[in-house]
Structure 1
């Protein structure tokens, strides 16, 4: 199996949007997925044997990086690719001389929350009722990582 993580490019976007729709109950709009040239953008794609297996969208503004979205195709869950993608992301932030990394995660997303904790992130606050659910809303847990 050939694994690589490369800067996101327009050729990846169709597959990324398909994964976004499979991986999230409330996916980003396609127009947001296709907007890859925003200020401070540092988006990357995980390729598994040449096909998109996952991705992250991040923004680096004066040394403070925000992980906006990270996803793995559900067919690859449980095989360590999510950890590889997150480890790459954190190493990328270090190479960019970032000072801190910030993210938000749904309180119900225990696998992601645990992955972030095990990677050195700390819970710092909550946005109450931030994310939509089928039956209302749920909190976003704000987490930080200092380099």
Structure 2
């Protein structure tokens, strides 16, 4: 199996939208997925044997990258693709001379939290009641990674 990190292009967006709906209990609006990226965007996807299995939306401003959204097709989870995708995103940040990466993760998303921590992200803060949840609101954990 060959995997490639690719810059998201318009022809990827049907797959991105399908994965977004399948992977998130509270998906982004389709209009956000299909919005034309601005010059600060750092959006990439992970292809396995030419098929898009995951993506991330990010931006890079003044050396600080923010990971806004990341997902792997639920049918493809548990195979290390999330790690490969996140490593690819970090590599793009490095290539663009970024110095750090920021993200927020649901407090209940322990699998994602453990992945981020395993790659060197550190929790630095908490936003109480940030995300919508089944029973009201859920905290966001803010994590950062220093690019070498």
Q: TM (normalized to structure 1)?
A: 0.97
1:40 aligned residue: 40
1:18 aligned residue: 18
Contact 1:20 1:28 in 2 (8 A): yes
2:28 aligned residue: 28
Q: What secondary structure sits across from 2:67 in the alignment?
A: strand
1:95 aligned residue: 95
1:79 aligned residue: 79
Q: Aligned equivalents of 1:38 and 1:94: distance in 2?
A: 19
Return the offset for 1:38. Answer: 2.1
Q: What secondary structure sits across from 2:92 in the alignment?
A: helix
Q: Aligned equivalents of 1:47 and 1:36: distance in 2?
A: 21
Q: Aligned equivalents of 2:3 and 2:97: distance in 1?
A: 25
Q: Cα RMSD over matched residues?
A: 0.9
Query: How many pairs are equivalent?
Result: 147
User: Are residues 1:116 and 2:116 paired?
Assistant: yes
Return the offset for 1:36. Answer: 3.8
Return the offset for 1:93. Answer: 1.1
Q: TM (normalized to structure 2)?
A: 0.96
2:55 aligned residue: 55
Return the offset for 1:47. Answer: 1.1
The runs of at least 4 aligned residues of structure 1 exceeding 2 Å deviation read: none
- Worse overlay, 34-43 or 102-111: 34-43
- Matched ranges for 1:128-139 at <5 A: 128-139=128-139
Q: What secondary structure sits across from 1:129 in the alignment?
A: strand
2:105 aligned residue: 105
